[in-house]
Amino acid sequence: MSEPLRIAIAGLGTVGAGIVKIVQQHGALLAARAGRSVEIVAISARSRTKDRGVDLAAYAWEDDPVALARRDDVDLLIEVMGGEDGPAKACVETALQNGKHVVTANKAMLAIHGQEMAIQAERAGVALRYEAAVAGGIPIVKALTEGLAANGITRVMGVMNGTCNYILTVMEETGASYNDVLKDAQDLGYAEADPAADVGGFDAAHKLSLLAATAFGAQVRFDNVVIEGIERITLADIENAADMGYRIKLLGVARMAQDGLEQRMQPCLVPAASPLGQLEGVSNMVVVEGDHVGQTVYQGPGAGEGPTASAVMADVVDIARGLVMPVFGQPADTLARPNASSAGSDARYYLRFSLSDQPGVLAELASILGRHDVSINRMRQYDHDGQAAPLVIVTHATGRPALDLALAEISALSACLAAPVALRIES
């Protein structure tokens, strides 16, 4: 393999510029580790004139990323434009059709189109790699497909969105409200002007669907992920959790249940002393449980120029070495198409209610929970202003379908002043 690996980059934002920096700074190191040189030959982005802090003069320019993907002098396309459809999808599909390897950081695209793209890549005999699409600089895809290949995976879970982890961490540390900390995160560049994808859980749910497919030999089923964001988490919830020895995290969990694949991305209480409970700021963490290895933990920066570009180049080096493997760890035509688990696993739940202060309300609430076989482990009523009475209940382990029926009935009570908050307690 003495011939250089010729790469093209579609997208020159933060990550694309970071890739150029790595190739320019570490060309000799990459060649030594890959067994051949890695050379950028062409690039594409929206603007030719924008200053990106790197010298691009030596590279051919294409205004159209699809034309970039067709070039005869390109062996591998790096796609870091983003977007589940449009130019990103078009240039990746064109590259695969033309027998070129692809490395992408595009979680949304793969979460929606991953199965058909995997089939296309494997039929063409080329690699489609996506380490940078999941948890930034953490090499979790490589861990699942290589380091843990001898294990049947029993559960994957983790904190996969640094913005949400930052918001929840700062709320706890400072006592500031969700809205105030969100604005701070936007000012610092941790959250977008429109933060819905992050705080709504969708960004992290894309990542979870890719990890679940890789861990459980399944087709990507983003449409089956149960998604709940952190928008309704209050400082009171964080304080109540801390009183019980927990912290609140936007937690993704995937496991294969008897009735299908369980995939959840939602705020959960986790033990404060656990690795997930101790995770601070914008970091990500993924926990993988295998039947032979037990529990393994992976932590690191989940986004940013350096970590994401590093993950992209790790895939590039593997391809330069000649490693071409199935996209999701096993041939795409062998991946199962599992149903979504309708019940999920039982768990304890933290419940918060806002009730009117009148006789008989607590008894009626307890009666409704009991009729749905939701057993109360402990209950605490907090001081109130004589009108809205805050109430916190922790249940014994119960199924979410039964709990949802009970909460719907409670929500319909005239004494229920706001929609109840239900947070799973994850061990």
Q: What amino acid positions are annotated as catalytic residues? A: 207
- Whole-angstrom CA distances from 166 to 243, 301, 311, 314, 421 are 20, 12, 22, 27, 21
Nearest of 65, 19, 78 to residue 310 by alpha carbon? 19
166/183 Cα distance (integer angstroms): 12
In angstroms and rounded to an integer, the radius of gyration of the C-alpha atoms of the chain is 24
The sheet with strand 60-61 has its strands ordered as: 60-61, 38-44, 5-10, 76-79, 101-104, 128-129
What is the dihedral angle through the alpha carbons of 214, 217, 222, 224, rounded to the nearest 10 degrees?
A: -140
Contact between 209 and 220 (Cβ < 8 Å): yes
DSSP string computed for 144-161: IIIITTTS-EEEEEEE--
How many other C-beta atoms are found inside a 10 Å radius of the C-beta of residue 356? 14
In SS3 terms, 167-226 reads as HHHHHHHHCCCHHHHHHHHHHHCCCCCCCHHHHCCHHHHHHHHHHHHHHHCECCCHHHCE
